[in-house]
């Protein structure tokens, strides 16, 4: 099982203190050719921030597989604003896109079932 197959709690740095940012928790969300990684990290001062990575699988003309990655760092002082903006954007999509509403209803049912399952952190 890989690092991003399930939520994990890491037991600390493996870089003998050379890494400034300690991994605390990770969650992978697979979505077709894309995978989104939500990594909670801790600074030396103990503050948490989130590293959000989008990884897209690409196939080269030579048949090789590569991954394009894009990162966003979300700091604790911006968590609430980020959630507000994301929620407002999703609500807009729900209100203005009938097909989207059907997909969200199916997703909500799936998420509700998964939230009832115990999770190890």
Single pTM value for the model? 0.61
pLDDT tens digits, one per residue of 43-70: 989 999 999 999 999 898 998 999 999 9
Residue 26 CB partners (closer than 8 Å, separation 6+): 3, 4, 7, 8, 10, 37, 38, 39, 40
Sheet strands side by side (includes 22-31): 8-9, 22-31, 34-42, 48-59, 65-75
- In angstroms and rounded to an integer, the radius of gyration of the C-alpha atoms of the chain is 17
pLDDT tens, the chain, 121 aa long: 344 444 444 444 444 444 567 889 999 999 988 999 999 999 989 999 999 999 999 898 998 999 999 999 999 999 999 999 999 998 998 888 867 656 656 655 655 555 444 444 4
């Amino acid at each position: 099982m890989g690092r991003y197959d399930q939520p994990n709690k890491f037991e600390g740095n493996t870089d003998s203190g050379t890494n400034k940012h300690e991994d605390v928790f990770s969650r992978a969300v697979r979505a077709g050719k894309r995978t989104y990684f939500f990594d909670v990290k801790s600074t030396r001062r103990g503050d948490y921030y989130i590293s959000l990575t989008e990884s897209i699988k690409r196939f080269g003309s030579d048949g090789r597989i590569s991954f394009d990655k894009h990162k966003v760092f979300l700091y604790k002082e911006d968590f609430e604003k980020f959630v507000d903006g994301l929620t407002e954007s999703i609500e807009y999509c729900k209100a203005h896109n009938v097909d989207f509403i059907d997909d969200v209803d199916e997703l909500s049912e799936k998420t509700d079932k998964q939230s009832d399952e115990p999770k190890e952190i």
